[in-house]
Amino acid sequence: MAEGHRNTLLALMQQDGNNECADCGEKKIDWASPTFGVFLCQECAGIHRGLSSPQSRIKSLYLDKWDEDQVQVMRTIGNNQAKLKYELHVPVYYKKPTSQSVYVLKKEWIIAKYQRLEFTDPARQSAYDCETKTGYLWKLGRDRKQFAQRRFVISRSDNTLCYYVNEDSNKQKQPKSVVDLDFLNAVFVPEKIGNPFGLQLTYIKDGSTRSLFLYSDTSKEIVDWFMCIRAAKWERRKIAFPDRDLAQLSEDLTSEFLMEGWLSKMGPKNEPFKRRWFTLDCRKLMYFEEPLHAYAKGEVFIGHKDAGYRLSMGGEVGCRKSATPSASNYCFTLHTPERNFVMRAETRDDLEKWVMALERILEQPLTPYDSKLAALLVPKKASSTFRLIKR
């Protein structure tokens, strides 16, 4: 590369908007597209290479040769101008990927922007911006532990997601389950499910959280379902809160799990520690025998610190009886008004991450949604915010 071209590109890369990836916001920029005039991170550049457009080109800012015409494209367009064109009609509810997002979200965002041109014309968004969506997804059986195709239906007017066991709706007029979209969360979990298009849905059923593990045959299909859920939830909130800022209404339509991983939990009567899979879903701390179990063994609603919830390092008798001194150092206790939960992380790094995540929750004031969620999870006869499910 001519030194002048290199210096020009590096100078352009420092300008506002060009100093992060045009598609995911990653700060480390090594690549650019002279086709679209945008600066990119390594992962997004790899996705751009897969675009079907034959003229789409990706070049290294440091290693490849650039000609004057290509440099002029970068000078003329840049990330900000490209967004004005390719992101002109991004729906408020659409979850744009960040540098930490799963690959499938980044991939479909880039294809939607530059190849399908979904955000240049709202009419191209009908796959997820629709009153009713019907289709088939692979669902993990609750007991059989194998995936089978199931028919799913999202209805905005009913505010529900349903699924049917039989493909022929005439054989099963009533759905297997009807889910209230208000209390439905959708999270991409490709590693947990073992499929790059894996999606986990969680919702409240009979006072406890039910999980559905799904995947589709294509990345577009699963992302369309994910965005359709968000679109339906946002539409309902827009009607319910006409005076609220539309961007604010979209902030928590779906929420990533704050933490997931293995912890050991001591039983309620100083019983031996048992290894459990823990998931921190907003203010719910759930624990499972295995990551892909449909129901948690138990779940704890975590309130605000002023209501008697707190964390302390170390534990009770069980931690002092640990097999090795180092293991006992990884204990921490979650204190609730009705019970203390003693847990043990497997590494110091895990301990620090769990404690940090839980402390952030304790500091956050409860929202009206949080209060409704707590009421659904807590048995009516008890004031406790702890729910133990024996299954």
- Residues 102, 10 within the same domain: yes
- Is 347 within the bounds of a domain? yes
Question: Over 70: is that where the pLDDT of 217 sits?
Answer: yes
- Res 55: pLDDT: 63
Task: List, as one string, the DSSP characters of 2-62.
Answer: -HHHHHHHHHHHTSTTTTS-TTT--S---EEETTTTEEE-HHHHHHHHT-S-TT---EETT
- Residues 132, 119 within the same domain: no
- Res 389: pLDDT: 46
- Res 205: pLDDT: 85
Query: By the 8 A CB rule, do 345 and 374 touch?
Result: no
Distances in whole angstroms, Cα of residue 178 to Cα of each of 182, 213, 293, 338:
12, 16, 19, 32
Contacts of 188 by beta carbon, 8 Å cutoff, 6+ apart: 102, 104, 105, 198, 199, 200, 226
Q: Which H helix or E strand runs over 227?
A: helix 219-240
Question: Over 90: is that where the pLDDT of 60 sits?
Answer: yes
From the list 1, 34, 38, the residue with the least C-alpha distance to 18 is: 38
- Residues 321, 370 within the same domain: yes
- Residues 293, 373 within the same domain: yes
- Residues 182, 110 within the same domain: no
- Residues 288, 356 within the same domain: yes
Highest mean pLDDT among 2-6, 144-148, 161-165, 381-385: 161-165
Question: Over 60: is that where the pLDDT of 282 sits?
Answer: yes
pLDDT classification of 188: cutoffs 50, 70, 90: very high
- Is 247 within the bounds of a domain? no
Question: Over 50: is that where the pLDDT of 325 sits?
Answer: no
Query: By the 8 A CB rule, do 315 and 344 touch?
Result: yes
- Is 288 within the bounds of a domain? yes
Question: Over 70: is that where the pLDDT of 111 sits?
Answer: yes
Render pLDDT for 97-110 as a digit per residue (tens, 0 to 9). 999 999 999 999 99
- Is 31 within the bounds of a domain? yes
Task: Report, as an integer, the average pLDDT of 354-375.
Answer: 90
- Res 4: pLDDT: 73
How many Å separate Cα 342 from the centre of its chain? 27
d(CA 342, CA 273): 9
- Res 15: pLDDT: 92
Q: Which of 68, 92, 124 is the last residue of a domain?
A: 124
Task: List, as one string, the DSSP characters of 301-329.
Answer: E---GGGT-EEEES-SHHHHT-SSHHHHT
Q: What percent of the chain has pLDDT over 90?
A: 71
- Residues 232, 298 within the same domain: no
pLDDT classification of 54: cutoffs 50, 70, 90: low
Mean pLDDT across the chain:
89
| Burial per residue of 119-153, b for 16 or more beta-carbon CB atoms within 10 angstroms, e otherwise | beeeeebebbbeeebebebbbbeeeeeebeebbbb
- Residues 339, 325 within the same domain: yes
Task: Report, as an integer, the average pLDDT of 66-92.
Answer: 95
Distances in whole angstroms, Cα of residue 185 to Cα of each of 130, 181, 200, 229:
19, 8, 8, 9
Amino acid code (one letter) for 310: R
d(CA 364, CA 72): 49
Task: Report, as an integer, the average pLDDT of 148-157.
Answer: 96
Strand partners, 340: 335
- Residues 383, 267 within the same domain: yes
Q: Which of 195, 213, 242 is the last residue of a domain?
A: 242
- Residues 179, 100 within the same domain: no
- Is 253 within the bounds of a domain? no
- Residues 282, 366 within the same domain: yes
**Domain hosting residue 39, numbered range:** 3-124
- Residues 231, 170 within the same domain: yes
- Is 197 within the bounds of a domain? yes
What is the count of structural domains for the chain? 3
pLDDT classification of 242: cutoffs 50, 70, 90: confident
8-state DSSP, 92 = T
- Is 168 within the bounds of a domain? yes
- Is 99 within the bounds of a domain? yes
- Res 170: pLDDT: 56
> Which CATH number is 110's domain given?
1.10.220.150
pLDDT classification of 322: cutoffs 50, 70, 90: very low
Is the pTM higher than 0.85? yes
| Beta strands in the chain, from DSSP E residues, in sequence order | 31-33, 38-40, 59-60, 132-140, 147-155, 160-164, 177-180, 185-188, 199-205, 208-215, 259-266, 273-281, 284-288, 298-301, 310-313, 331-335, 340-344, 386-388
Task: Report, as an integer, the average pLDDT of 41-61.
Answer: 87
Q: Which of 98, 124, 150 is the last residue of a domain?
A: 124
Pair type for strands 310-313 and 298-301: unpaired
> Which CATH number is 207's domain given?
2.30.29.30
Identify which has the larger pLDDT, 172 or 187: 187
Render pLDDT for 13-28 as a digit per residue (tens, 0 to 9). 999 999 999 999 999 9
From the list 129, 30, 48, 127, the residue with the least C-alpha distance to 86 is: 48
- Res 157: pLDDT: 95
- Res 145: pLDDT: 81
- Res 270: pLDDT: 74
- Res 53: pLDDT: 64
Question: Over 50: is that where the pLDDT of 84 sits?
Answer: yes
